Structure 1
């Protein structure tokens, strides 16, 4: 039933706007502007049947994952499995990007006119850039930040500035950072699931997180970098709550530092508080939850304090970004379509196999037992729904919601083991088809 509803939702999102029923993903748009910004809605991209030299490797990885993924996940030593999951995720994401070619699909993506790398050469003084960051958020000013810089806190821009300062400038190095950090989320998810549920469940999830459709957007967007940072923050928090590491307080502090840094990469990552609360609810005793919560909060506050001392107050930036958001194309993207079109894009991003798994999350018995994977997925779902209803996420959510949706891919571990390779095949096939018939913007 869940998969059927998912298919209907996706089909409606593609077809309904083209039936002249008054439902549209973009208003106040001529034919050319509609094609540029909503031609493949609910996905941000353009219809284009194409193949590339990444096609072959992507197919081979998908086939190998379906045929041998479950067997390897069961048999590999745990630490080796983490490395293999990370490497597979990275290779899968890179292959999908290479379907579009080296320059168009990877090296040139972060050098586009609205992207961070266009702003990097203008930052001569990092301290001054942070102090004056909020002053340059609103549009229609002589020194306004470009679109992506203005729409995020300064942490994202600073990352690429620092990368450039150490001699790793340009789109290829920036893309490599996003690819490696973003794909590491596969290992982080397994660490968290093992800590909060059990190792068998984590091993069942491994093939699904390693070749998830979300990889289409991880390799070629700064949000891939955000995904990795946030995912390891949650993973460290899970280790601290479960008490499965030698120094839980250190793990909790590390979680706070990463999640604190994450909210200075993207304002939307404030919603990672919901998966974090889900992790805390998994604690066997309130003392375990507090043992993790207090150091994490203190570390996160320390990150906020450093930025405040440098001259940037997060809440000022957040309120200005909302104003900037409505200065742009958001005002032409009607909520009446995107409130459900966003969810259709999410189905495409996680795959129908993951949708089938999510249906099994709503198990009252497991929820009463505070089963770890069930609560984690519910926390991520809550973040997605909160972002959707905020009206601050209309379109492009297949990229923007990556820090939440990567956790949803693990839900497929709840499916019957005998059927999992079929659902994995559905996910992989869906990613391949989507990536070959739509030239995604990221």
Structure 2
């Protein structure tokens, strides 16, 4: 395996970062720790495996053998299959692989604990669903129930997100698909579809070969550990398709670019009502517009998208929820909880160690190659989009509103970083894929992740 100078620096640095993030919590260094003011029991509950949220527990499960089989197949045949398949099948293959990989990893923890029961935990959305008897009233009063220590406060995850997240699961329940298994399936299908969206976007921004080289990496991304059983997987899928439709509109890679642009606006507009943090998707979106061949192409794409996104905002405003009210209140709710005991001195870099775990060392190596001045100067869309996603992560990190659990919270951004491995020399891809899948299997079998 050949290693260039950039990845020769980036990969060892990433390894040191991850090792330090796991070791430092055991050194009792004052505020350079994942949790302060904590009893040993509370530390085990909330920081046992920092920077990953989970608990040390070497285990296997029903998903172990399928996950290993998918990993081996991806390493041995993934690159060659992606290169030979007719293009129309490549996105579908990436989606199917990502779905099977994520589901297998979830089943390592068992059907109930790993999949069907995950979204029914006491802080999750499904616990709130039975209390919603009047949807319009729930939206109108949503902001007033965000703060904690009120008789009718929303539970943790509901309060921390705009109403779109809760509404999704309420609507799912209303059409007869209630319960954890159906909710998990929605998150699994939507989250794994990001692999297809990314492949399509890379082809439009770069070329066919780059997209095919990216496909195996996004198909078996380590981030899949958190896609199958967290609502953030669903958020990532919505955001990924929103960006991809914008790419297709800007590059005019579809017959109806205006329709693609409007679809992008609807999805990205809906996205900010799923997760306040998805407002940062404006950065990768801006990167896509910056890569446009002309100002006219960018303007033609951005106007319908902005109008469609605005329509979503207006619809929620008409229903009684103003996004900025929710955003202001959720910051106050954030500091009412465990965030007060999670020191920035650790998490400002511990968060980045969690990102490394989610994108794998292949993602780190590919990201190092994204810092290509020549490509940036010629406004390479693939490079700019990747750097836009990275910038979104940096902004989220410095905001102090993302401390811990970022391996799932930042999924809408990290899924794009995984694709940067396509920039690595093709002859080395099997080695990098092997590092990624081994890392994912080790994390999933040694840590009982909370998601």
TM-score higher than 0.5? yes
1:218 corresponds to 2:227: yes
Secondary structure in structure 2 of the residue aligned to 1:351: helix
Equivalent position of 1:10 in the other structure: 18
Which of 277, 300, 308 aligns to 2:309? It is 300
Output aligned runs, 1:7-156, within 5 Å. Answer: 7-22=15-30, 23-156=32-165
Equivalent position of 2:407 in the other structure: 398
Equivalent position of 1:363 in the other structure: 372
Question: C-alpha separation between the residues in 2 aligned to 1:300 and 1:421?
Answer: 41
Give the paired residue count: 442
Unaligned runs of 5+ in 1: none
Question: C-alpha separation between the residues in 2 aligned to 1:316 and 1:73?
Answer: 46
Secondary structure in structure 2 of the residue aligned to 1:378: helix
1:233 corresponds to 2:237: no
Secondary structure in structure 2 of the residue aligned to 1:46: strand
Structure 1 residue 21, shift from structure 2 partner:
2.6
Equivalent position of 1:389 in the other structure: 398
Question: C-alpha separation between the residues in 1 aligned to 2:316 and 2:418?
Answer: 33
Equivalent position of 2:438 in the other structure: 429
Structure 1 residue 20, shift from structure 2 partner:
2.6
Structure 1 residue 369, shift from structure 2 partner:
1.2
Output aligned runs, 1:309-348, within 5 Å. Answer: 309-348=318-357
Question: C-alpha separation between the residues in 1 aligned to 2:42 and 2:27?
Answer: 19
Equivalent position of 2:288 in the other structure: 279
- The root-mean-square deviation of aligned C-alpha atoms, in Å, is 0.5
Q: Calculate the TM-score normalised by the size of structure 2.
A: 0.98
* TM-superposition CA deviations, 1:353-378 (whole Å, max 9, x none): 11000010011111111112111110
Which of 198, 203, 206 aligns to 2:212? It is 203
Question: C-alpha separation between the residues in 2 aligned to 1:214 and 1:413?
Answer: 17
Question: C-alpha separation between the residues in 1 aligned to 2:212 and 2:378?
Answer: 21
Question: C-alpha separation between the residues in 2 aligned to 1:365 and 1:81?
Answer: 29
Unaligned runs of 5+ in 2: 1-8
Output aligned runs, 1:403-422, within 5 Å. Answer: 403-422=412-431
Question: C-alpha separation between the residues in 2 aligned to 1:240 and 1:287?
Answer: 12
Structure 1 residue 282, shift from structure 2 partner:
1.2
Equivalent position of 2:174 in the other structure: 165
Secondary structure in structure 2 of the residue aligned to 1:51: coil
* TM-superposition CA deviations, 1:138-194 (whole Å, max 9, x none): 000000000000000000000000000000000000000000010000000011111
Structure 1 residue 19, shift from structure 2 partner:
1.7
* TM-superposition CA deviations, 1:255-311 (whole Å, max 9, x none): 000000000000000000000011111111110000100000000000000000000
Question: C-alpha separation between the residues in 2 aligned to 1:209 and 1:352?
Answer: 13
Secondary structure in structure 2 of the residue aligned to 1:360: helix
**Runs of 4+ that moved beyond 4 A:** none
Question: C-alpha separation between the residues in 1 aligned to 2:75 and 2:192?
Answer: 19
Question: C-alpha separation between the residues in 2 aligned to 1:17 and 1:142?
Answer: 36
* TM-superposition CA deviations, 1:193-219 (whole Å, max 9, x none): 111111111101000000000000000
* TM-superposition CA deviations, 1:320-356 (whole Å, max 9, x none): 0000000000000000000000000000011001100
